[in-house]
């Protein structure tokens, strides 16, 4: 309430100051207008000339003055005088007087001149007092309020000692609204974290047999897998004091502030032990120290050193559990990852088909689904989707349903939502012409190879409807949760990616191939190089010739010595080129052998613009034998 009144006073202060200044200006202008009006009381048809005071006295002595009007306390006068040069006509003349002197009045009386003294109109006393007293009072009061407000701000004069205080959000009993039942698809991670909750609630179950509570739990996984959601569930289940903040909230531009905030955080945590501390995106403060190039970050490194000391230093922190989350474990400092600090590292990966089904059940509680829509089918169609992706999928489907004015979400909205999430927004359909036919042959080339090559993933859909930057798309449905990929599958995927370029080459000729296969060729080069350098699937033998394809970390990776000689590098390039060219020759032969089937498929695709995999397979089966693909279907029971 006091803060509200302070804000109101700060708003009223400049307004009051402006009003007072305006009041003074108007008062002065009123006086000036009075003077102007008093000086211009002559008739409109009579000109007022000016006369010096000495000449005015000469006119008085000569008997030419007939009347005098005195204004402004004797400083101005309007004189009626007879001018002999103007045929003795009466003229009104303005005279500046030195003041209302008694000698002048006596002289006018002696000469029998009619005169009148007009009283001066002064500014009201209240206006003068307000201008002279209230304005300084307002100014001083405003300065006091501004000073008090600056003291209440972080880093203000009165709060200099508060700058190093922690910014963590604190709750005695965190009411996050999330329990373990609300977190699906990460059963292994939930089991590990459930032990942390049990230890906080019933520590005697573990201490009675000599077990110690873990000091830190590090949640590792790609974005969207539910790391922060798990932390909320722990807070909701444990019922103990809970501190939550981000790693970036420790770091400031001033050296030592982050370390001070770490000390204050653990001081407050000790006062409320047992408790939980959740640090999201800990890689912002926990990166490796001593980058070596361009100097280090003293502020961040001091903050990390203080965090390491507080977690497992000279003084113990019993009853405090730190939960941290990151998707970049490769850049974390090794001292942060050792036992005694983050004792337990929980991997939160993308869910399998069972996990996706349970996640869909959670997110579909408040959605109206069609009766013939199966969540199991959605789970099978979305391999690789994280929990955030699945939530977004159902939300996009609900938006499409409302836009189409339907009562429930159907399979059509799910299909369109999947396409939009993976490929982008739907564009305008292509008009009939050469470009549409060329794109049709390109997409049919992909689908043809994907259907006829046994080890390739089955075709799910072929479409000419543009999405994102792509003018046409061919969707494949891979086997669910492929943890291992064979060499035959990789070669089949290379051939499938080259199918579009091969179709353009066979149908339109080498000179008419387009840039539409640019992304496919990049994908082919990447797969072929990994087969040679990482998987040992070439004539160079089972030798790993390159490290993991992780992001470069300054100071660690840029100075790494290259162990590959120039001769081996040339052999790698030759093996990649030979592998790609062999696959391209096989792809060309398949396209040439099925030219008639391609023409028929292109006609149907241009007419319908979208074909599902089953329809594509049935049409192709009329012209050639289609191999049956062996698929491993995960059980949902």
What would the pLDDT profile of 456-487 be if each residue is shown by its tens digit?
A: 988 888 988 888 778 888 888 876 666 788 89
Q: How far is CA 65 from CA 39, 40, 53, 441, in A?
A: 18, 19, 13, 115
At 39 the pLDDT is 44
At 598 the pLDDT is 92
Helix spans in 223-256 (H): 227-238
Q: Is residue 129 part of a domain?
A: no
Q: Is residue 397 part of a domain?
A: yes
Residue where one domain finishes, among candidates 347, 369, 389: 347
Cβ of 71: how many Cβ atoms within 10 Å? 22
**The two structure tokens encoding residue 543:** 């030798």
Q: How far is CA 261 from CA 120, 154, 324, in A?
A: 70, 13, 17
**Higher per-residue pLDDT: 160 or 607:** 607
Same domain for 336 and 375? Answer: no
Mean of pLDDT values over 191-209: 80
At 174 the pLDDT is 63
Instruction: Return the H-helix or E-strand segment holding 193.
Output: helix 187-201
Cβ of 352: how many Cβ atoms within 10 Å? 16
In the predicted model, is pLDDT for residue 7 greater than 60? no
Q: Is residue 105 part of a domain?
A: yes
Same domain for 343 and 361? Answer: no
Reported as a pLDDT band with limits 50, 70 and 90, residue 583 is very high
Residue where one domain finishes, among candidates 57, 83, 117: 117
Same domain for 369 and 325? Answer: no
Domain at 394, CATH number: 1.10.8.60
Same domain for 307 and 278? Answer: yes
Q: How far is CA 234 from CA 191, 207, 246, 299, 337, in A?
A: 11, 21, 17, 31, 21
**Higher per-residue pLDDT: 557 or 210:** 210
Same domain for 184 and 332? Answer: yes
Reported as a pLDDT band with limits 50, 70 and 90, residue 493 is very high
At 588 the pLDDT is 94
At 24 the pLDDT is 54
Let me know: does 429 contact 464? Beta carbons within 8 Å: yes
Residue in 364, 10, 324 with CA at minimum distance from that of residue 152? 10
Domain at 97, CATH number: 3.30.720.210
Q: Is 491 helix (H, G, I), strand (E, B) or coil?
A: helix
Same domain for 597 and 529? Answer: yes
In the predicted model, is pLDDT for residue 613 greater than 70? yes
Domain carrying residue 94: 2-117
Reported as a pLDDT band with limits 50, 70 and 90, residue 119 is confident
In the predicted model, is pLDDT for residue 528 greater than 90? yes
Same domain for 65 and 198? Answer: no
Question: What gap in Å lies between CA 33 and CA 27, rounded to an integer?
Answer: 10
Same domain for 227 and 314? Answer: yes
Let me know: does 198 contact 250? Beta carbons within 8 Å: no
**Higher per-residue pLDDT: 132 or 20:** 132
**Higher per-residue pLDDT: 407 or 1:** 407
In the predicted model, is pLDDT for residue 13 greater than 80? no
Same domain for 357 and 343? Answer: no
At 525 the pLDDT is 94
Query: Lowest-confidence range among 57-66, 154-163, 397-406, 529-538?
Result: 154-163
Query: Lowest-confidence range among 332-336, 440-444, 451-455, 588-592?
Result: 332-336
At 446 the pLDDT is 93
Structurally, the chain folds into a number of domains equal to 4
Q: Is residue 151 part of a domain?
A: no
**Higher per-residue pLDDT: 377 or 526:** 526
Q: Is residue 155 part of a domain?
A: no
Q: Is 407 helix (H, G, I), strand (E, B) or coil?
A: coil
At 354 the pLDDT is 86
Most confident of 73-77, 496-500, 509-513: 496-500
Q: Is residue 163 part of a domain?
A: no
Reported as a pLDDT band with limits 50, 70 and 90, residue 168 is low
Same domain for 334 and 247? Answer: yes
Same domain for 233 and 100? Answer: no
**Higher per-residue pLDDT: 156 or 331:** 331
Q: Roughly what angle, to the nearest 10 degrees, separates helices 613-621 and 434-452? A: 80
Let me know: does 445 contact 598? Beta carbons within 8 Å: yes
At 337 the pLDDT is 87
Q: Is 347 helix (H, G, I), strand (E, B) or coil?
A: strand
**Higher per-residue pLDDT: 30 or 114:** 114
Question: What gap in Å lies between CA 410 and CA 530, rounded to an integer?
Answer: 40
Active site amino acids = 443
At 425 the pLDDT is 78
In the predicted model, is pLDDT for residue 209 greater than 90? no
User: pLDDT, tens digit, for every residue of 85-113?
Assistant: 666 677 788 888 777 677 777 787 777 78
pTM recorded for the entire structure = 0.66
Q: Is residue 56 part of a domain?
A: yes
* Helices and strands in the chain: count of H runs, count of E runs: 21, 14
Same domain for 282 and 360? Answer: no
Reported as a pLDDT band with limits 50, 70 and 90, residue 23 is low
Query: Lowest-confidence range among 60-64, 141-145, 375-379?
Result: 141-145
Let me know: does 166 contact 174? Beta carbons within 8 Å: no
**The two structure tokens encoding residue 450:** 């994907």
**Higher per-residue pLDDT: 158 or 190:** 190
Query: Lowest-confidence range among 23-32, 117-126, 287-296?
Result: 23-32
Q: Is residue 127 part of a domain?
A: no
Average pLDDT, the chain: 78
Residue where one domain finishes, among candidates 117, 139, 157: 117
Domain at 288, CATH number: 3.40.50.300
Domain at 509, CATH number: 1.20.58.760
Let me know: does 471 contact 439? Beta carbons within 8 Å: yes
Question: What gap in Å lies between CA 504 and CA 439, rounded to an integer?
Answer: 9
Instruction: Return the H-helix or E-strand segment holding 610.
Output: strand 610-612
At 37 the pLDDT is 46
């Amino acid at each position: 309430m006091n803060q509200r009144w302070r804000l109101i006073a700060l708003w009223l202060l400049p307004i009051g100051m402006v009003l007072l200044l305006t009041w003074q200006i108007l008062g002065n202008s009123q006086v000036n207008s009075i003077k102007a009006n008093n000086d211009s009381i002559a008739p409109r048809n009579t000109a007022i000339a000016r006369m010096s005071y000495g000449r005015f006295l000469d006119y008085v002595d000569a008997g030419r003055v007939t009347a005098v009007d005195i204004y402004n306390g004797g400083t101005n006068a309007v004189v009626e005088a007879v001018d002999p040069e103007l045929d003795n006509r009466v003229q009104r003349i303005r005279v500046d007087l030195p003041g209302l002197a008694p000698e002048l009045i006596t002289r006018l009386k002696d000469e029998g001149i009619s005169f009148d003294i007009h009283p001066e109109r002064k500014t009201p006393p209240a206006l003068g007092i307000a201008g002279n007293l209230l304005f300084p009072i307002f100014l001083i009061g405003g300065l006091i309020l501004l000073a008090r407000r600056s003291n209440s701000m972080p880093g203000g004069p009165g709060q200099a000692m508060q700058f190093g205080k922690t910014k963590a959000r604190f709750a005695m009993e965190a009411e996050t609204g999330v329990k373990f039942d609300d977190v699906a698809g990460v059963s292994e991670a939930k089991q590990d974290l459930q032990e942390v909750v049990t230890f906080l609630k019933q520590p005697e179950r573990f201490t009675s047999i000599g077990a110690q509570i873990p000091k830190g739990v590090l949640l590792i996984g790609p974005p969207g897998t539910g790391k922060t959601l798990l932390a909320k569930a722990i807070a909701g289940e444990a019922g103990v004091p809970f501190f939550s903040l981000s790693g970036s909230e420790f770091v400031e531009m001033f050296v030592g502030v982050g370390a001070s905030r770490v000390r204050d955080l653990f001081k407050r945590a000790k006062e409320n032990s047992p408790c939980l501390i959740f640090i999201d995106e800990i890689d912002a403060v926990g990166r490796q120290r001593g980058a070596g190039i361009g100097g280090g970050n003293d502020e961040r490194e001091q903050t990390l050193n203080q965090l390491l000391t507080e977690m497992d230093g000279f003084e113990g922190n019993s009853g405090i559990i730190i939960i941290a989350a990151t998707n970049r474990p490769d850049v974390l400092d090794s001292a942060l990852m050792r036992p005694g600090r983050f004792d337990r590292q929980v991997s939160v990966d993308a869910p399998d088909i069972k996990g996706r089904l349970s996640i869909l059940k959670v997110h579909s509680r408040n959605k109206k689904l069609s009766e013939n829509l199966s969540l199991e089918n959605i789970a099978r169609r979305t391999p690789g989707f994280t929990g955030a992706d699945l939530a977004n999928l159902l939300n996009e489907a609900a938006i499409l349903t409302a836009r189409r004015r339907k009562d429930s979400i159907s399979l059509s909205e799910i299909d369109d939502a999947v396409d939009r999430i993976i490929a982008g927004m739907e564009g305008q359909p292509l008009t009939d012409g050469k470009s549409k036919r060329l794109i049709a042959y390109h997409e049919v080339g992909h689908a043809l190879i994907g259907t006829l090559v046994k080890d390739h993933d089955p075709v799910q859909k072929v479409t000419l409807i543009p999405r994102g930057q792509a003018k046409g798309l061919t969707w494949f449905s891979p086997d669910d949760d492929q943890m291992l990929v064979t060499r035959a599958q990789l070669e089949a995927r290379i051939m499938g990616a080259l199918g579009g370029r091969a179709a353009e080459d066979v149908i339109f000729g080498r000179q008419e191939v387009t840039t539409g296969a640019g992304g496919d060729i990049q994908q082919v080069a990447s797969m072929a190089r990994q087969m040679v350098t990482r998987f040992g699937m070439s004539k160079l033998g089972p030798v790993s010739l390159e490290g993991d394809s992780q992001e470069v970390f300054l100071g660690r990776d840029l100075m790494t010595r290259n162990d590959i000689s120039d001769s081996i590098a040339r052999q790698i390039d030759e093996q990649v080129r030979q592998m790609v060219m062999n696959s391209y020759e096989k792809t060309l032969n398949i396209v040439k052998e099925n030219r008639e089937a391609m023409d028929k498929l292109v006609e149907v695709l241009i007419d319908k613009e979208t074909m599902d995999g089953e329809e594509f397979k049935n049409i192709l089966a009329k012209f050639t034998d289609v191999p049956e693909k062996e698929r491993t279907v995960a059980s949902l029971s």
